[in-house]
Structure 1
Amino acid sequence: MARPEPAALVCPSCGTAHPLHERFCAACGMPLVHPGPRGADAVVTEAHARARKIKPQLSEGELVRVAGGRHQAEAELIQGMLLEEGVPSMLRRSRGFDVPDMLAAGPRDVLVPRSGVQTAREVLLQADLLPAPDGRSARARAGIDAPSRILLGLVAALVVVALIAWIGTELLV
């Protein structure tokens, strides 16, 4: 029974196939490697899947803080939202917060490259995670009252009803 021939070596730079006894590419001098799985057989790691989502035009320039999370989980949520839009980001513990690095507690800064700042801010504005340039949140712009304003209105209505009930009992007596 014949043994199957092992795969030939290939140059990672130019892609030229070489026999197994060669160690370096004759064309460019690069060390030869065994060919890996290609196409549908290739295993895509989580890091590769994340890297494929990043838009190269949004990954240039120095890092700029665009948002902050109250803790690591919230910052990772923001980071995931940015990644879905192709904006690469990095998390950094906020300055002045004294907690060991191994803990997830404490505020985090979300940093993006300068070329992705505008896109990141648009994404965060749509998600109501940043105030608008006029200082109002998306809820306020949509005319939705904040929960504290609703509670204040309910308390005021309760006071008016109690006053009417008290006046009614005083008139009947």
Structure 2
Amino acid sequence: MFKKILIALDRSEIGKYVFEQGFGLAKMTGASLLLLHVLSNEEEGSPYIPVSTFQYYPAMWEQVSEFHQQEWDRWKNQSVEMLQALCAQANTANVNAEFRQIPGNPSRAICDLAKTWDADLIVIGRRGHSGLAELLLGSVSNYVLHHAPCSVYVVQLPFDEKATKVAKESVSASISS
């Protein structure tokens, strides 16, 4: 069955489910895990500064740049702590696990690492973007499905979590309008 499972994680709500699914498969099959977090501005919640701001306020560049670097370092460290905790959880359950955090484009980084690590399976989450949102934002899971060197298991939020998330988003949208 599977010997090497790459679990692609981010810090979103679905990341917990992605880990649980990949971890469960590894326990059942005796596979080793590689937990991956790709540092990217594309990740929901990551520090982001619109560069266009500085064409209007060039004098602020140094201060904002320093602040952004501090926030980025904080984000990076929190992500490593998440990976360490999940790795420890797996190792405590006698599942051989390691982790990596790399910068870059999540879609390509996942496929490239799966190839170099010789993964049998990639476990990845799906945010549920469709239509125009998927066209504009892209879909990491869609790219990985079409370019991965191995099988791909796509995890979605359970139905009740999706409904809660959609309700929260619609309430937020109506409040901000």
The reply to whether TM is greater than 0.5 is: no
Per the normalisation by structure 2, the TM-score is 0.27
Structure showing greater Rg: 1
Per the normalisation by structure 1, the TM-score is 0.28
Between Structure 1 and Structure 2, the one with more helix by share is 2
